[in-house]
Amino acid sequence: MFRAIVLKNLVRQRVRTSLTALGIAIGIATVLALGVITSGLKASLGEFVTAGGADFMVAQKGASDLSFSAVPEETVAALARRDDVARADGFELKITTLGSNPYFILYGFEADALGAQGLELREGELPAAADEIALGVDAAASNALAAGDTVVFEHRTFRVSGVYEVADTLRRSGGVALLATVQELGNRPGVVTAAYVTVAPGEDPVAVAEAIERDLPTLAAIADVDDYGEVDQGVRIMDAVNLAISLLAVGIGAIGVMNTMIMSVFERTREIGILRAVGWRGSRIVRMVLLESLALCGIAAVVGIALGLLATRAVLAIPTVSSFLVPSYAPEVFIRALAVGVVVALIGAAYPAVRAVRLSPMEALRHE
Amino acid sequence: MSEPVISVRGVRKSFEDGRIVALRGMDLEVAEGEFVALVGPSGCGKSTLLHLIAALDRPDEGAIRVAGRALEEANDLSAHRAHEVGLIFQLHNLMPALTASENVQVPMFELGLPGRERRERAHALLAAVGLEGRERNRPPQLSGGERQRVAVARALANEPPILLADEPTGSLDSEAGATVLDLIERLRRERGLTVVLVTHDTGVAARADRIVTMLDGHVVGSSPNDRSAAAPTTRLAASTRVTP
């Protein structure tokens, strides 16, 4: 019955309760949608970092964006010569336009490294000439291209030599060409964006990565997405934006809940006086106010999660977004959204609850 | 004489930073099982005294003992309100969103009773006040007299030994008022309650064992009530006269 009292209190002011819940729901939806998208993006980056079975990737330390990273080809060659390294495959990235996708990523590898990238050909062959590219299955499908067709990048015509399948999202929706071709398209001769490193048998990848960073201080070794921020500030910015929006959602939501709960407690001052007069302890009054707030935010969380999932689907319906992003519905994303609801409920109810319990029963009973 | 169940000694109470003095050195003792009516003009301090005995407020000075417990020494006055006293107000003060049964169950939370026991006890109490079958009605669906009877049932929910009633018939018509007074008298007899009732109406007071008259914040008279001699002074009192 305690729960019934709590729910009846909420239902009394239906419009106010609904509008407050909707406000919080929008905040939770934003946090959820952002969480699903950013964790999806991070998952894609995680796959990219160790693509083709490499132990880690090396790139220019402190680059604001990976596409600005420049590692001299001699450095990659020096890495490949190290005793503790089995392979070091330098690659160049070029972000260009393919059809309606302005974020098509073209990867350039040396011919002998292309075969080691875990690309499974579905049709045709890997590029062997300067005017050839192979497309990932998603890129080929979304642009209705097949082996033998031609595409134009940067005013140059290329023949699609083949279509490949690969585990990571970014390369499935991208393409590969010879290193020199991509360097020429980007006007970056003699440098690569980064290199995939596979350590020699028996070597510890962590120790090798540390040794490389020590020997070549301009390089950063990236073994997972958490290290990615060292070569791309975008990830850090994304995390910061995510945190800022979560905090904003909590702040705005808490003010909304506090306003609603203060009004609710004020309107029921006399009733709270009655409850105190019939013997309810202060802690029970606090529990009642907190539960009301939690119930309000619980409803908001359910609606917010539903809205967030709808928003995510709407964003992913944009072809350019779906080309590089697979949403990640990781449990922590939902936990974070629910945590926003709980924190909002507790912060929003704290002051009204204290106010309710501080009223003397007599003062409350005199309230009109 | 055994120890009084209510003892008020030298109690002073003022409001608005001392500008309004409600009680000026009030003394009162009530024996166990006694029915005391507090009478006097408006503003004489009757309700204030009742509220202090109910621990809804604290006195500025003086001592109040209820059921052997000194209220000024008690840290948790909620326990006193929950277990020692049942309160009936002039206005029923029911929760409008709750049913009659739920209103009666509200004080029982402090007893930690399981839901089923709470419902059964509320059902029995509502039956005792003549509201069997009205358990699911909310206050707006009940008449004034019925609401006040629900309030009586709520006051007795935790089986307190003391019933404090502040003008319980003040907002009722004669017939409804008579029913409520009959009910209080019957429950008092059946349960051996100590009753302190505040009233303006000398006819209503005539039902008590003792009438305590207050003026300007202290007692000016306290006399055992001779029921057979007391003449009803109002239509309500006349209509509610019971045969001993």
Whether the per-residue pLDDT at B244 is higher than 70: the answer is no
Residues A91-119 have pLDDT tens digits of: 999 988 888 778 888 999 998 888 888 88
pLDDT at B237: 44
Query: What's the rounded Cα separation, in Å, for the pair A149 and B24?
Result: 104
Write down the residue that tokens 């049932």 correspond to. B153
Residue A368 has what pLDDT?
64
The interface residues of chain B toward chain A in range 89-118, judged by CB-CB distance below 8 A, are 89, 93-95, 97-98, 102, 105-107, 109-110, 115, 118
Which chain A residues have any C-beta within 8 angstroms of a chain B C-beta?
1-2, 4-5, 8-9, 11-12, 270-271, 274-282, 284, 360-362, 365
The lowest-confidence range among A151-155, A176-180, A240-244 is A240-244
When pLDDT is cut at 50, 70 and 90, the band that residue A130 belongs to is very high
- The partner residue sitting opposite A8, judged by closest CB among B76, B87, B97, is B97
Segments making up each domain of chain A, as ranges? 2-45+236-366, 51-223
Residue A323's pLDDT band (cuts 50, 70, 90): low
Confidence at residue A231, expressed as pLDDT on a 0 to 100 scale: 64
pLDDT digits (tens, 9 = 90+) for A288-311: 988 988 898 888 999 999 999 999
Whether the CB of B120 is below 8 Å from some CB of chain A: the reply is no
What are the beta bridge partners of residue A93?
Answer: A107
Contacts across the A-B interface (CB distance below 8 Å): 70
Distance CA A225, CA A47 (A): 9
CA distance B71 to chain A (A): 14
CA of B152: which chain A residue's CA is closest? A278
Q: With contacts defined as CB-CB under 8 Å, which chain A residues touch B57?
A: 360-362
pLDDT tens profile A208-218: 999 999 999 99
Q: pLDDT tens for residues B89-134?
A: 888 789 888 999 999 999 998 888 898 999 999 999 898 888 888 9
Phi/psi of residue A194, nearest 5 degrees: -165, 180
What is the structure's pLDDT at B236?
Answer: 43
Q: Which residue has the higher pLDDT, A255 or A320?
A: A255
8 Å CB contact of B57 and A360:
yes
Q: How confident is the model at residue B226 (pLDDT cuts 50, 70, 90)?
A: low
**pLDDT greater than 60 at residue B229:** no
Contact B56 A365 (CB under 8 A): yes
Q: Where are the domains of chain B?
A: 94-159
* Interchain proximity B95–A271, CB inside 8 Å: yes
Give chain B positions within 8 Å (CB) of A291: none
Pairwise CB contact (< 8 Å): A5 & B102:
yes
Residue B76 in contact with partner chain A when CB distance is under 8 A: yes
| B82/A365 touch (CB, cutoff 8 Å), yes or no | no
Cα B221 to Cα B39, B52, B204, B215, B233: the distances in Å are: 10, 20, 17, 9, 19
Distance in Å, alpha carbon of B243 to nearest chain A alpha carbon: 33
**C-alpha to C-alpha distance for B214 and B40, rounded to whole angstroms:** 5
- Answer whether A301's CB lies under 8 Å from A339's CB: no
pLDDT tens-digit readout, B158-188:
989 999 999 888 777 777 788 888 888 888 8
Average pLDDT (B202-230) is 81
Kindly state the average pLDDT of the residues A236-264.
81
Whether B102 and A2 lie within 8 Å, measured CB to CB: no
**pLDDT score recorded for residue A339:** 87
Q: Which of residues 125-164 of B touch A (CB under 8 A)?
A: 154, 157-158
Interface test with A, best of B53, B109, B138, B150 (most A CBs within 10 A): B109
Contact assignment for B76 to A271 by CB distance below 8 Å = no
The more confidently predicted of residues A226 and A167 is: A167
Using a CB-CB distance cutoff of 8 angstroms, which residues of chain A are in contact with residue B82?
278-280
Nearest-by-Cβ selection for A1 from B56, B102, B158: B102
pLDDT > 90? residue B222:
no
DSSP chain B: -PPPSEEEEEEEEEETTTTEEEEEEEEEEE-TT-EEEEE-STTSSHHHHHHHHTTSS--SEEEEEETTEEGGG-S-HHHHHHHTEEEE-SS----TTS-HHHHHHGGGGGGT--HHHHHHHHHHHHHHTT-TT-TT--GGGS-HHHHHHHHHHHHTTT--SEEEEESTTTTS-HHHHHHHHHHHHHHHHHHT-EEEEE-S-HHHHTTSSEEEEEETTEEEEEEE--TTTPPP-SHHHHHH----
B242 confidence band (pLDDT: 50, 70, 90):
very low
Q: Tell me how close the Cα of A25 comes to any Cα of chain B, in angstroms.
A: 27
Highest average pLDDT, of A349-363, B92-106, B213-227, comes from: B92-106
* Model pLDDT for residues A162-182, shown as the tens digit of each residue: 999 998 888 888 999 999 999
Neighbours of A119 (CB within 10 A): 23
Contacts of A360 in chain B (CB under 8 A): 56-57
pLDDT tens-digit map of A141-150: 988 999 999 9
Instruction: Identify the DSSP state of A52.
Output: G
Of all residues in chain A, the one with the smallest CA distance to B155 is A278
Inter-chain CB proximity A362 and B106 less than 8 Å: no
The SS3 of residue A286 is helix
